[in-house]
Amino acid sequence: MASKREKTSPCLKNCLFAFLSGGAVCLLGQAMKDLFALLGAEEKTAYSLVAVTLVFAAGLCTGLGFYDKAARVCGAGLFVPITGFSNAVTSPAIEARCEGAVTGVGSEIFKIAGPVIVYGNIASVIYGVIYYIYLCFAG
Amino acid sequence: MNYLYAFLSGGAICLLAQMLVDKTKLTPAKILVLYVCTGVFLGACGVYAPFVRFAGAGATVPLTGFGYTLASGVKEAVEKQGLMGCLTGGLTASSAGISAAVIFAALWALLFKSRDKNI
């Protein structure tokens, strides 16, 4: 009974923390988006600015050591939003500092974020080709 | 109301990822790749654009939103430039996020030293 409880309860707790923290990051993003829109940015630009600001802030928190501590508690809530992408870029970059600027920081930056860009790009190119063929027949 | 939708949608996407972490053997890196590809797929199907209108940052901030940016960029570029747009569209649309991540990461790597994880 005790072991069964041990197995199920961390999952529930993890899920709750992931939900709350992930929601909070998105809520913060929405507030920023409204702020940028208020300052006169277009909808699309406002979302890009939100991404850039969150990337900046999450990188700073990573450097200061807050982000990894919080991510241990919040799990997916902090690695699925764009802030997690920023953390995945910044964290290895800081770790690799002592290995030099080119073979250290330069290559480690994309250690975790690389696959995301690679497969995202491949998927988008495949979609582009399909869409092009579709336009040829439809248009 | 926008804020509630953003919170609930963003939270739900993260909750799903956490369930994948706990209940399957997928590593976080694989889940991120899965999420981006899902975003591209949903963007291509035309499902994600209405979701962004509904949830706002709750849809664009999670990594699926990055996939959606790639997909919508490719769509626009193909309409304008034809086949060449397949290659240029995705990264053009997502360039702000990627460049920001690289520039800031390099900056923080200059400013901060690696710290002991146990502190």
| Residues A117 and A91 placed together within one structural domain of the fold | no
In this prediction the pTM is: 0.88
Domain extent at residue A123: 113-139
**Per-residue pLDDT reduced to its tens digit, B46-103:** 999 999 999 999 999 999 999 999 999 999 999 999 999 999 999 999 998 899 999 9
Biggest CA-to-CA distance, chain A: 64
> Is B119 a domain residue?
no
Query: Once rounded to an integer, what is the mean pLDDT over residues A64-90?
Result: 89
pLDDT at A6 over 60: no
Q: At what angle do helices A43-64 and B85-111 cross, to 10 degrees?
A: 30
**Per-residue pLDDT reduced to its tens digit, B17-55:** 999 988 888 888 899 999 999 999 999 999 999 999 999
**Residue showing tokens 């994309």:** A110
> Is B95 a domain residue?
yes
> Is B102 a domain residue?
yes
**Interface test with chain B among A33, A78, A80, A87, by most B beta carbons within 10 Å:** A80
User: Residue B75 in contact with residue A47, Cβ under 8 Å?
Assistant: no
**Number of separate domains in chain A:** 2
> Is B30 a domain residue?
yes
| Residues A98 and A118 placed together within one structural domain of the fold | no
| Residues A82 and A15 placed together within one structural domain of the fold | yes
Give the other-Cβ count within 10 Å of B34's Cβ. 18
Cβ-Cβ contacts under 8 Å, A23 against chain B: 6-8, 10-11, 14, 58
What whole-number distance in Å separates Cα of residue B36 and Cα of residue A120?
6
| Residues A14 and A48 placed together within one structural domain of the fold | yes
Mean pLDDT of chain A, nearest integer? 87
Inspect the interface and report whether the beta carbons of B85 and A128 lie closer than 8 Å.
yes
Cβ-Cβ contacts under 8 Å, A51 against chain B: 60-61, 96-97, 100
| Residues A14 and A49 placed together within one structural domain of the fold | yes
In degrees and rounded to multiples of 5, residue B114 shows phi and psi of -60, 135
| Residues A54 and A72 placed together within one structural domain of the fold | yes
- Reported as a pLDDT band with limits 50, 70 and 90, residue A23 is very high
Q: At what angle do helices B85-111 and B63-81 cross, to 10 degrees?
A: 140
Domain extent at residue B6: 2-111
User: Residue B42 in contact with residue B58, Cβ under 8 Å?
Assistant: no
**Per-residue pLDDT reduced to its tens digit, A114-131:** 999 999 999 999 999 999
| Residues A93 and A136 placed together within one structural domain of the fold | no
CA B57 to chain centre: 11
pLDDT at A57 over 90: yes
Measured on CA atoms in the order B97, A51, A53, A102, is the torsion positive or negative? Answer: negative
Measured on CA atoms in the order A93, A51, A74, B37, is the torsion positive or negative? Answer: negative
For chain B positions 32-71, those within 8 Å of chain A (CB to CB) are 32-33, 35-37, 39-41, 43-44, 55-58, 60-63, 65-67, 70-71
> Is B54 a domain residue?
yes
Inspect the interface and report whether the beta carbons of A25 and B85 lie closer than 8 Å.
no
A8 residue type, one letter: T
> Is B88 a domain residue?
yes
> Is B118 a domain residue?
no
| Residues A119 and A91 placed together within one structural domain of the fold | no
In degrees and rounded to multiples of 5, residue A38 shows phi and psi of -65, -35
**Number of separate domains in chain B:** 1
